[in-house]
Structure 1
Amino acid sequence: MYFRPYPVLSILTLLGLGVLIWLGQWQWSRMGEKAEQIAAWEAVANAAPITLTEAICGTPRPGVPVEPAAGSGSGIRVWGRNEDGHGGWRRFVAVEPPDCAEGGHVLQEVDFTVFGGDEPTNAGPDFRIMPVPAHGLFDAANNPEANEFYRFDAEQMAEVAGVDSLNAEYWVVADRGLPPELAEVPPSRHLGYALTWFGLAAVLMAVFLAFHAAHGRLGFTRR
């Protein structure tokens, strides 16, 4: 067997192969993380509601039902979807944090207004405490001046809400079933993405070897 690789092509191929494998491993890890998050949510889905103090001062359990608290201010608007999948503005107000909380006020959802609609729909009666969503790669930029938020930003939101600080870990949201960030991209989707990236890595390697074989630089006979 003989193999005389093209130096530049080999370097580029190795770089591409590394990126594809990294993407595949990332999606594989996201599959496990998403499965754990869904399992944690389902474990408390039917639990009795607890107070915000119990939810935050005890061992935080994402998805646990909580009793709504009294909020203040006109609220901030966060882009989102209702239970029917219609886009609109979710309005949140700042709730006084329990004494044990160190992260400031907690945002609590109060109503939802569909784009083009005039009347907001009450968010109640059931609420859950959830981790604030992580920034998405394609999230639009916030517009604090217009009170329009597309990603969670504790500093910007606190200024609009008129409070000193906001809890950057948890907020209280209306219970609409499994959260969109868990339902829209289930673990099976991440598995498909991982297999796609790994498959592309295998194809890249096959093309690399086939190219060298076609140019007489790879063979399985003695020369």
Structure 2
Amino acid sequence: MAFAKARLLRAGLASAIGVAILVGLGTWQLERLAWKNGLIALVSERMSEPPAPLPPKAEWTKLDIEGWSYRRVSATGVFDGARESRVYTVLSDQKGRFGGPGYWIMTPLALRDGGVVIVNRGFVPEGLGRPEAEGRGDPKGEVTVVGLLRGPEGRNAFTPNDSADERLFFARDPAPIAAGLGISDAAPFTIDADATPNPGGLPQGGETRIAFPNRHLEYALTWYGLAGALVAVFIAFALKARKDEPAS
């Protein structure tokens, strides 16, 4: 009998620890849910605001890029089409005519007030990625670009290596793009141009992906469900142990 009670005690202690961990994970996911909902609301608010002037070059080294991300900004300068590059992508749920495999067209904009910002002018399908392709249009002279300020795009273990010689990149990260193009004074962020039509119709602007995975409630319910299942298993175990006790 003493052995059975000790066994039940150990099972109860292990179950309590497991339940505490699972409940903690569920609560953490609810906290993440609140954070994600707040982020989505903040981004939506930023995107509805009038465009702000691009922060000047003197502020770039100390700029809170996260605090500026997805803000609408305007920048005036001259495009350097001779140093254009491409970032490979597969565009789904496109807003414009074209989608599927293709490229983001990244063109340096030499700013009127100094410095260079790399502008994602929009999407072009495969086969039209070169500047000389039919349907491509490159603005001449000074222009004003309106779009969303974006921080560097992350990479993972499956991201291919860039090919700077071909001006082909696989992440919208201004540092390696600028290095590959020989630009020393590039901003540490990019601008996603809005849907203002380009000459000839391409690149196709306004295709910024505003999608934040938000499955935290699902994950929270899963953890809480596992905690409840563990409690049920322990109760069943305890009832069976009590039933199996020899009569005194």
Taking structure 2 as the reference length, what is the TM-score of the superposition?
A: 0.62
RMSD: 3.9
Question: Counterpart of 1:179?
Answer: 208
The gaps in structure 2 that reach 5 residues or longer are: 1-7, 196-204, 242-248
Decide whether the 8 Å contact of 1:155 with 1:165 is kept in 2: no
1:209 maps onto 2:231 in alignment: yes
* Cα-to-partner distance string for 1:148-205 (whole Å, 9 max, x where unaligned): 323233332112222124312342524345731x2x34xxx62xx2221221121011
Question: Counterpart of 2:84?
Answer: 75
Question: Counterpart of 1:26?
Answer: 32
Decide whether the 8 Å contact of 2:26 with 2:224 is kept in 1: no
Which of 181, 205, 228 is the aligned partner of 1:161?
181
Deviates more, 1:66-75 or 1:28-37: 66-75
Matches within 5 A, 1:37-186: 37-44=43-50, 54-57=53-56, 62-67=71-76, 69-71=78-80, 73-80=82-89, 81=91, 83-84=95-96, 86-87=99-100, 88-97=102-111, 99=113, 105-110=116-121, 112-117=123-128, 119=134, 121-122=136-137, 127-132=146-151, 134-135=153-154, 140-145=159-164, 146-175=166-195, 176-177=205-206, 179-180=208-209, 182=210, 184-185=211-212
Question: What is the aligned length?
Answer: 202
Distance in 2 between residues matched to 1:27 and 1:137, nearest whole Å? 24
Decide whether the 8 Å contact of 1:154 with 1:165 is kept in 2: no
Quote the offset at 1:25 in angstroms.
2.3
* CA 195–172 in structure 1, closer or farther in 2 if over 3 Å, else same: closer
SS in 2 for 1:95: strand
Rg (Cα) greater in structure: 2
Identity in percent:
14
Deviates more, 1:117-126 or 1:204-213: 117-126
* Cα-to-partner distance string for 1:100-128 (whole Å, 9 max, x where unaligned): x7xx5210234642024454544879631
Decide whether the 8 Å contact of 2:122 with 2:206 is kept in 1: no
The gaps in structure 1 that reach 5 residues or longer are: none
Decide whether the 8 Å contact of 1:66 with 1:127 is kept in 2: yes
* CA 98–9 in structure 1, closer or farther in 2 if over 3 Å, else same: farther
Taking structure 1 as the reference length, what is the TM-score of the superposition?
A: 0.68
* CA 96–177 in structure 1, closer or farther in 2 if over 3 Å, else same: closer
2:163 maps to amino acid: P
Quote the offset at 1:93 in angstroms.
2.0
Distance in 1 between residues matched to 2:208 and 2:161, nearest whole Å? 21
